[in-house]
């Protein structure tokens, strides 16, 4: 089993940066590049990619982040902003690139590392969708790095990371767990003013836990049994309930 890294650039603005990212990826032995709504990739991108033109030309184009991360087990977002006076929970907990390596060393599966727009980074709704967040420690005088430099630093830190034998849960199963948790908060009349922060906290807890397939199914089974005890009907279409329930029951 192995750990695979996918680099995702979200709406990159400058083709030279995209070419430089491809070059940095080849420097450290990575090839999986996905671009979400990129700028035009012409002569400058090819020139900056140098001998990594194969990675540039092999990059997949996606129209949404959801499309770009299809098939991954874990989504990790990057941010150059360590904290905010309001909404700090959105960017916490925040790991450094070295701490990230230690977090990932035991996992196997595919991990997407996402880099935001050169001018504005990620929107808050995008940050909330990530399982983990990390930043590269830089000078307070000028903390924001060029995107290609940031990619190079991260891949250098991860370049000898082989992963371990703990398989990460499928990204779709994780999403179903998160949706199930969100539904449960609604059913128990969780205070509306606390729900957003609480749900984000739960997502980050499970994200950094690196849940296995069995752990995800066990958690969903516990939620399902709780709902039954509370008298709530299941939401699966007829026929799917038995199939899903059977797959969950074998783990609990």
CATH code for position 11:
3.40.1280.10
Other Cβ atoms less than 10 A from the Cβ of 210: the count is 22
- Same domain for 157 and 206? no
User: Can you give the CATH number for the domain in which 195 is found?
Assistant: 1.10.8
User: Which comes out higher in pLDDT, residue 60 or 235?
Assistant: 60
Average pLDDT (60-71) is 96
Report the range of poorest mean pLDDT among 37-41, 221-225, 231-235, 247-251.
Answer: 247-251
For residues 78 and 133, the answer to whether their CB atoms sit within 8 Å is yes
Distance CA 207, CA 189 (A): 25
pLDDT of residue 243: 43
pLDDT digits (tens, 9 = 90+) for 152-209: 999 999 988 888 888 999 988 988 898 888 888 888 888 888 888 888 888 888 888 8
Number of H helices, E strands in the chain: 11, 8
Beta strands in 94-193 (DSSP E): 94-96, 107-115, 132-135, 166-167
- State the residue range of the domain holding 34: 3-167
- Same domain for 83 and 135? yes
User: Which comes out higher in pLDDT, residue 56 or 142?
Assistant: 56
- Same domain for 121 and 176? no
- Same domain for 220 and 148? no
- Same domain for 194 and 157? no
Which among 112, 133, 167 is the end of a domain? 167
pLDDT of residue 175: 87
User: Which comes out higher in pLDDT, residue 80 or 92?
Assistant: 80
- Averaged pLDDT of the chain: 85
- Same domain for 133 and 39? yes
Report the predicted TM-score, pTM, of the whole model to 2 decimal places.
Answer: 0.83
Report the number of distinct structural domains present in the chain: 2
Task: Inform me whether the pLDDT recorded for 72 exceeds 80.
Answer: yes
- Same domain for 57 and 176? no
Which among 131, 147, 167 is the end of a domain? 167
User: Which comes out higher in pLDDT, residue 142 or 234?
Assistant: 142
Report the range of poorest mean pLDDT among 18-22, 136-140, 234-238.
Answer: 234-238
Rg (CA), the chain: 20
- Same domain for 37 and 75? yes
- Same domain for 146 and 230? no
pLDDT digits (tens, 9 = 90+) for 82-130: 544 444 555 556 788 888 888 888 889 999 999 999 998 899 889 888 9
Q: Counting Cβ atoms within 10 Å, is residue 43 exposed (0-12), middle (13-18) or buried (19+)? A: exposed
pLDDT of residue 197: 85
- Same domain for 72 and 182? no
pLDDT of residue 96: 85
For residues 138 and 32, the answer to whether their CB atoms sit within 8 Å is no
Percent with pLDDT over 90 in the chain: 43
Task: Inform me whether the pLDDT recorded for 245 exceeds 50.
Answer: no
Which among 167, 198, 214 is the end of a domain? 167
User: Which comes out higher in pLDDT, residue 113 or 137?
Assistant: 113
Angstrom distances, CA of residue 4 to CA of 22, 46, 180, 252: 16, 25, 28, 30
- Same domain for 35 and 149? yes
- Same domain for 108 and 177? no
């Amino acid at each position: 089993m192995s750990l695979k890294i996918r680099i995702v650039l979200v709406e990159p603005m400058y083709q030279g940066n995209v070419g430089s990212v491809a070059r940095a990826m080849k420097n450290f032995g990575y090839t999986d590049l996905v671009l979400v709504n990129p700028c035009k990739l012409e002569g400058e991108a090819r020139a900056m990619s140098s001998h990594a033109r194969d990675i540039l030309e092999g990059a997949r184009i996606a129209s949404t982040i959801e499309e770009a991360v299809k098939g991954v087990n874990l989504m990790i977002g990057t941010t150059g902003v360590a904290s905010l006076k309001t909404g700090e929970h959105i960017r916490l907990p925040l790991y450094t690139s070295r701490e990230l390596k230690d977090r990932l060393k035991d996992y196997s599966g595919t991990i997407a590392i996402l880099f935001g727009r050169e001018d504005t980074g990620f929107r808050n709704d995008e940050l909330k969708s990530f399982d983990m967040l990390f930043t590269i420690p830089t000078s307070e005088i000028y903390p924001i790095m060029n995107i290609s430099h940031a990619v190079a630093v991260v891949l250098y830190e991860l370049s000898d990371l082989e992963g371990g034998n703990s398989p990460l849960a499928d990204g779709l199963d994780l999403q179903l767990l998160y949706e199930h948790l969100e539904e449960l908060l609604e059913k128990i009349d969780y205070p509306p003013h606390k729900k957003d922060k609480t749900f984000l906290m739960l997502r980050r807890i499970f994200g950094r836990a690196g849940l296995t397939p069995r752990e995800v199914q066990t958690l969903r089974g516990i939620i399902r049994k709780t709902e039954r005890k509370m008298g709530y009907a299941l939401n699966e279409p007829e026929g799917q309930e038995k199939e899903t329930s059977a797959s969950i029951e074998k783990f609990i």
